[in-house]
Amino acid sequence: MPVRLWRTPLDIEKVKLPKAEIHITKDQCNGCGYCIQYCPKKVLEESEEINARGVHPPRVVDEGKCIVCGFCTAVCPDFAIFVVEKQCEGGCYV
């Protein structure tokens, strides 16, 4: 019988998933859009504001969705974004 997640798993409270703090150095962003495109959780989007380099830096849509994989940090050609793991009491829960 195929497993369908129609019922909230009973141990969901026990699941520790990292919580993120996303830091964007807006004026260093050059607007390539890689962080937005390749974020596996689609946490980022292009903002309307225009930065010192005349581009639209990314904006965080939902920090809660971020799982701190750090790909945005690694793929950013301008060192304009980085993510640190939030420190919660005994780990953060879903």
Residues contributing to the site for another protein (CB under 8 A): 1-12, 15-18, 21-26, 28, 30-34, 37-38, 40, 53, 55, 60, 63, 67-71, 73-79, 82, 84, 94
Closest approach, Cβ 38 to another protein, in A, equals: 7
- The 3-class SS string of 21-57 reads EEEECHHHCCCCCHHHHHCCCCCEEECCCCCCCCCCC
Closest approach, Cβ 49 to another protein, in A, equals: 13
Tokens linked to 11:
């141990």
Tokens linked to 66:
């971020």
Which residue number, 14 or 89, has a Cβ lying nearer to another protein? 14
Which residue number, 6 or 89, has a Cβ lying nearer to another protein? 6
Which residue number, 34 or 89, has a Cβ lying nearer to another protein? 34
Cα-based angle 28, 34, 40 (whole degrees, multiple of 5):
125
